[in-house]
Amino acid sequence: MSLFDIMIGMAQKKVALITGANKGLGFEISRQLGAKGITVILGARDETKANAAAQKLQSEGLDAHALKLDVTKADDIANAAEFVKQKFGVLDILVNNAGVNLDGNGDVSADSLRQSFEANVIGPYALTKAMLPLLKASPGGRVVNQSSMLGSLTLISNGQGGNWTTAGYTSSKAALNMITVVLAHELKGTRVKVNSAHPGWVRTDMGGANAPLDVAEGAKTAVGLATLPDDGPSGSFMHLGKTLPW
């Protein structure tokens, strides 16, 4: 790293954008990044919920901003890139956390599969592409794709998906993992790292009340990957510091 890079890094407070940040893991990831002195932009598809979440973190003394961002809407993605460019001129961290599990009882229609891919794969990909110039402007851009062990071909084919082995969620998270690998490959030689996180089974609206982990523990993997040092990995799939099989 050059002296110029070090000076830029010291001069600027880091800026992070977290999608699906109005509740659950996204909100907690925002809180933990904010507590590290990072400016956090909380994206949510409902503007009122984005504002409420950002205000809650502001009331805790964090530098939090709200952004209406439905990751399946091209206009919202374009507006998000323009918002970050105008307000900050750089993006250090993008956490593609927003996600859906639409699989219900497991009888997944083609239309439902399409919706899962829109939210869990195409949205994160489109948002990352839109943010790349801003991430490249950072002294160390970090992209975290919030995946799941249920996106691991290895673990699912070993029978470790249990009742969660349903077509829409698993295949969309597997595709998101491949996006991680491909983007990491494409960005080799730049300062941007792209990694997939498995948060664990976490008590949220999606994870349900029986999950063993609370959100504070569940947020740790994404926060760790969002704040990786320059010699950290890119193109990896991690849970609490351990590498998962693809």
Active site residues: 169
Residue 196, Cβ density class (10 Å: 0-12 exposed, 13-18 middle, ≥19 buried): buried
Shortest reach from residue 203's CB to ligand NAP, in Å: 7
Q: Is 193 within 8 Å of 233 (Cβ atoms)? A: yes
Query: CA-to-CA distance for 6 and 49, rounded, in angstroms?
Result: 37
The nearest distance, CB 13 to ligand NAP, in angstroms, is 25
Nearer to ligand NAP, 146 or 152 (CB): 146
- Provide CB contacts within 8 A for 65, sequence distance 6+: 39, 40, 41, 42, 54, 87
Residues that bind ligand NAP (CB under 6 A): 19-20, 22-26, 44-46, 69-72, 97-100, 119, 123, 146, 148, 199, 201-202, 204-207, 211
Cα–Cα distance for residue pair 192/76, rounded to 1 Å: 23
Q: Cβ of residue 192: shortest distance to ligand NAP, in angstroms?
A: 21
Listing DSSP states for 198-235 in one string gives: ---SB-STTT-TT-SB-HHHHTHHHHHHHT--TTS-SS
The least distance separating ligand NAP from the CB of residue 138, rounded to whole angstroms, comes to: 23
Residue 245 DSSP label: P
Helix (H) or strand (E) holding 64: strand 64-68
How far is C-alpha 37 from the geometric centre of its chain's CA atoms?
19
Shortest approach of ligand NAP to residue 48 CB, angstroms?
10
Q: Name the 3-class secondary structure at 225.
A: helix
CB-nearer residue toward ligand NAP: 63 or 118: 118
**Radius of gyration from C-alpha coordinates of the chain:** 17
